[in-house]
Structure 1
Amino acid sequence: MSMVLIVFFVVYLGMMLGHLPWLKVDRASIALGGAIALLATAELTQSQALASIDFSTLGMLFGLMLISIQLELSGFYGSLSAAVTRIQASPPVLLASLTAVVGVMSAFLTNDVVAVAMTPVVLSISLQRRMNPVPFLLAIAFAANAGSVATLIGSPQNMLIGERLHLSFAGFMGYAAIPAVLSLVVVWLVLVVAYRGRWRLDRPDTAQRVDTAESTAETPRFDGWETLKGLLVLGFILYAFIFTDWNRGLVAASAGAFMLFNARFVSRTMLHRVDWDLLILFIGLFVVNGAIQDSGLPQQLVGDLKAAGFDLQHSGVLYALTAVLSDIVSNVPTVMLLLPYAGDPQAGPLIALASGLSSNLIIIGSLANIIVVDAANAKGFNISFWEFAKAGIPIALTTLLIAWVWVRYLMGMVTT
């Protein structure tokens, strides 16, 4: 048991730091190393390790990644973001359009992929139009996080929550869709206020940056047939999730595999773009968290905390703890750690909302944030920790409050 506790501590220390001291190792490798250490020291058998892995969640992740890759390679993301950014309207209207598009796309496709695909296009066109790109880039990050909470396929942790708690697709949206929409409104309002009067670029180095943006902005050429194929397959997945009881992991994995049989895109290219690190992270954390649960230590700790007046299974405590830990050890590890204590019907949606909306608090709250900030910094537009937090803190706190009030107090009034 002591070995299980040591491995668990080291793995979650790595989740918090993003690495281990003096070692060039990332979160995925840390989680995988922890799982292998438990097997090598005979703390787990191979059958126990396999039993702890949720293959349905992995299937959903893998399949939906391939659908997103299909749409990215077909030019769908780039063309859509370019069309939105080129709208001839005032900056606040343009910001509203971009926020809405990113939010909706992130609800049905992996939010990180949306950020990766749209960020360079929006940055390039903003500079070409002599607009300050920072509020538009921040809108991508904030809207991707906020929009992703609306459905069970908006983020990896939502997929995990849906599979582990056996939540229905439509039932989850009943809890999460309204907070997601209201959160997108909050994102727009905060950014409009924060960047009022700072929409244009009047600096002398703007022309040079525009030339650089024009030369480096490369997006895949739009292919109508490949885009249509990807959207039709996504529509089939949504139909299966909502109206059938088919295994969601198998449906998504089958749809993703279908995308590999392609006359235009080389399957190896598509597989290279799969986020294997995320899949490895899931596998490692499944094994490590399964081992700590089997040890009985968490159950003992929860009992001791409850006796001391801190009930981890209380929805309010679980909601607040998820929000805090998600910005410390990241979303997926937090959700895996706390899911066993989701005891009431509202717990699953609350964990999903807390883990997703709290991502807007600080830069390291989500990969989408890091993608956007790195892209801006590469062009000389430094989005510092405080620059991000000045908008992120009010957005995160306001939207977390909205989600809590909706789920705990207003949801019942609407459905009765």
Structure 2
Amino acid sequence: MPDLAVPIFIITYLGVALGRIPGLMLDRTGIALLGAIAMIASGAVPLSEAMAAIDLPTIILLYALMVLSAQLRLGGFYTWVAGRTTTLLDRPRLFLLSSMLAAALLSALLANDIVCLAFTPVLCLVLLKKGFNPLPFLLGLAAASNIGSAATIIGNPQNMLIGQVGRLHFGRFLLWCGPPTLIALAGAYLILCRIYNGDFTASAFPQAVELTPDWPPFDRRQTSKGLIGILVLLGLFFTPIPRELSAITVAAILLCSRKIHSRRILELVDWQLLTLFCSLFIVLHPITSRNIPSLLMEAMAQQGLTLSNLLALTTLSTILSNLVSNVPAVMFLVHFLDPNVPQQWYVLALSSTFAGNLVIIGSIANLIVIEQARKFRIEISFQEHARTGIPITLFSLLIMALLIYLHRFFMLL
């Protein structure tokens, strides 16, 4: 049988980049899964190697955090937080700031996708009833959740992978990535205020919303359980205990409930994202096992391009993240990084996450906001997103470039 590993890899990544295959009802997860199956069926990846190719610690960490996030969602925490910010609706700019800060903070502690899924319906409903233009607030939610998630190892799936593969320290990651995240968030807020100056209350969208929201009521006890779980987990992350072991233990304790059935919690786990991760690990395995990344690195070095140059790494990460989305881009690029140079891993985490704001397909969080808003007859076009996404991304990457320059100047790299 001919060696089909490289053709299957190329076709799969092209499919992931396009997001669909003409004539078939497949999304990115379905395409990645078919690619993994093709690798196994063709013999390019034996079944035993396919199972070993999956980075189990990363999958366990991601799964456990989804369980923790589900606990908070069923406890009504996300809806309660979003609802509390609506008390500032009479001051639109302050409301935008508070909603962005809440989204960024929660995204740094939990998966940003869940934050967008929980916040978007609440924002849509209250903004339409108030007669406000929902666009700046929804775009602010997507931008803030993406930016905020860059601050920590557990903020988004690609950071979890970077933290696990690079064996990065939770505290040092936060110290390196936290400051540029705060500056980028402030810049995003000011850019939105500038672009939508005077348009916060001029809504052309329908004010009468017939949908009846089906949101979990706020339960103080269940929310407290979730918040205590987060605090315990953050404390454990500063110990030598493996992060995945700490996270899955906390998740197991939360599943032991007399009020919330475990089935309800597990229904909120993003199995699509877990399937995407597992499939891409398998698709990438024959490429990495044959030393192809090293050969590509050598070819790039001959052209004067090396990822030890952090600006070059930032540029390549930004481009790939907007071609194939940031999770597949990171899964490919981690094979080029030096495990003894943590700054490379920090830069990849920041750049791939910041790049998610550039265009709609750059981040799953963007797609969630757009799909949820559509249920309320709010359309966010590619052009409307790009109107804010492009300047926000450019500003964020400029902050990164300045940070890289300052670290180099003060000999801190």
Identify the TM-score tier after normalising by the shorter chain: over 0.9
Superposition map of 1:55-134 within 5 A: 55-87=56-88, 89-134=90-135
- The Cα of 1:297 is off from its aligned counterpart by 2.5
Matched, 1:323 2:318: yes
Matched, 1:301 2:302: no
Q: Is the 8 A contact 1:86 1:125 kept in 2?
A: no
Task: Tell me the equivalent position of 2:158.
Answer: 157
Instruction: Identify the match of residue 261 of structure 2 among 266, 279, 295.
Output: 266
Task: Tell me the equivalent position of 1:224.
Answer: 220
- The Cα of 1:296 is off from its aligned counterpart by 2.4
Q: Is the 8 A contact 1:139 1:191 kept in 2?
A: yes
**Which has the higher mean CA deviation after the structures are superposed, 113-122 or 382-391?**
382-391
Q: Is the 8 A contact 1:346 1:407 kept in 2?
A: no
Give 3-state SS (helix, strand or coil) of 1:19's partner. coil
C-alpha distance after superposition, 1:82-123 (max 9, x if no partner): 110222542111111111111111000100000000110111
Instruction: Identify the match of residue 404 of structure 1 among 389, 401, 405.
Output: 401
Superposition map of 1:135-154 within 5 A: 135-154=136-155
- The Cα of 1:379 is off from its aligned counterpart by 2.7
Please provide the CA RMSD for this pair: 1.9
Task: Tell me the equivalent position of 2:367.
Answer: 370
Give 3-state SS (helix, strand or coil) of 1:346's partner. helix
Write the distance in 1 (CA, Å) between the matches of 2:269 and 2:405. 37
Write the distance in 2 (CA, Å) between the matches of 1:414 and 1:293. 33
* Code of the aligned partner of 1:237: L
Instruction: Identify the match of residue 336 of structure 1 among 331, 336, 349.
Output: 331
Write the distance in 2 (CA, Å) between the matches of 1:375 and 1:38. 35
CA change 1:116–1:411 in 2 (3 A) is farther
Q: Is the 8 A contact 1:305 1:312 kept in 2?
A: no
Give 3-state SS (helix, strand or coil) of 1:184's partner. helix
Q: Is the 8 A contact 2:293 2:335 kept in 1?
A: no
- The Cα of 1:298 is off from its aligned counterpart by 2.6
Instruction: Identify the match of residue 245 of structure 2 among 246, 250, 259.
Output: 250
Give 3-state SS (helix, strand or coil) of 1:216's partner. coil
Write the distance in 2 (CA, Å) between the matches of 1:241 and 1:251. 8
Give 3-state SS (helix, strand or coil) of 1:328's partner. helix
Give 3-state SS (helix, strand or coil) of 1:20's partner. coil
**Which has the higher mean CA deviation after the structures are superposed, 402-411 or 364-373?**
402-411
Write the distance in 1 (CA, Å) between the matches of 2:311 and 2:403. 13
Count of residues in correspondence between the two structures:
410
* Code of the aligned partner of 1:208: A
* Code of the aligned partner of 1:286: F
- The Cα of 1:377 is off from its aligned counterpart by 3.3
- The Cα of 1:194 is off from its aligned counterpart by 1.0
* Code of the aligned partner of 2:232: F
CA change 1:199–1:414 in 2 (3 A) is farther
CA change 1:340–1:139 in 2 (3 A) is same
Write the distance in 2 (CA, Å) between the matches of 1:80 and 1:58. 28
- The Cα of 1:255 is off from its aligned counterpart by 1.6
**Which has the higher mean CA deviation after the structures are superposed, 175-184 or 290-299?**
290-299
Write the distance in 2 (CA, Å) between the matches of 1:264 and 1:365. 38
CA change 1:124–1:415 in 2 (3 A) is same
- The Cα of 1:246 is off from its aligned counterpart by 0.7
- The Cα of 1:148 is off from its aligned counterpart by 0.3
- The Cα of 1:393 is off from its aligned counterpart by 0.4
Q: Is the 8 A contact 1:106 1:148 kept in 2?
A: yes
Instruction: Identify the match of residue 391 of structure 1 among 383, 388, 392.
Output: 388
TM-score by length of 1: 0.94
CA change 1:413–1:220 in 2 (3 A) is farther
Task: Tell me the equivalent position of 1:26.
Answer: 27
- The Cα of 1:33 is off from its aligned counterpart by 2.3
Q: Is the 8 A contact 2:168 2:342 kept in 1?
A: no
Q: Is the 8 A contact 1:55 1:249 kept in 2?
A: no
Task: Tell me the equivalent position of 1:51.
Answer: 52
Q: Is the 8 A contact 2:71 2:265 kept in 1?
A: yes
Q: Name stretches of at least 5 consecutive residues in structure 1 with no aligned partner.
A: none
Task: Tell me the equivalent position of 1:236.
Answer: 232
Matched, 1:382 2:382: no
Matched, 1:208 2:208: yes
C-alpha distance after superposition, 1:49-80 (max 9, x if no partner): 23321111001100000110110110000011
Task: Tell me the equivalent position of 1:15.
Answer: 16
CA change 1:383–1:160 in 2 (3 A) is same
Q: Is the 8 A contact 1:103 1:147 kept in 2?
A: yes
**Which has the higher mean CA deviation after the structures are superposed, 65-74 or 24-33?**
24-33
Instruction: Identify the match of residue 277 of structure 1 among 250, 272, 277.
Output: 272
CA change 1:273–1:200 in 2 (3 A) is same
Write the distance in 2 (CA, Å) between the matches of 1:88 and 1:331. 34
Over the matched positions of the two proteins, sequence identity in percent amounts to: 38
Write the distance in 2 (CA, Å) between the matches of 1:130 and 1:411. 49
Q: Is the 8 A contact 1:240 1:251 kept in 2?
A: yes
Give 3-state SS (helix, strand or coil) of 2:43's partner. coil
Write the distance in 1 (CA, Å) between the matches of 2:107 and 2:14. 29
* Code of the aligned partner of 1:262: S
Write the distance in 2 (CA, Å) between the matches of 1:13 and 1:228. 44
Write the distance in 1 (CA, Å) between the matches of 2:78 and 2:345. 30
- The Cα of 1:24 is off from its aligned counterpart by 1.6
Q: Name stretches of at least 5 consecutive residues in structure 2 with no aligned partner.
A: none
Write the distance in 2 (CA, Å) between the matches of 1:7 and 1:408. 40
Write the distance in 2 (CA, Å) between the matches of 1:233 and 1:124. 30
- The Cα of 1:266 is off from its aligned counterpart by 1.5
**Which has the higher mean CA deviation after the structures are superposed, 301-310 or 181-190?**
301-310
Task: Tell me the equivalent position of 1:289.
Answer: 284
Matched, 1:199 2:195: no
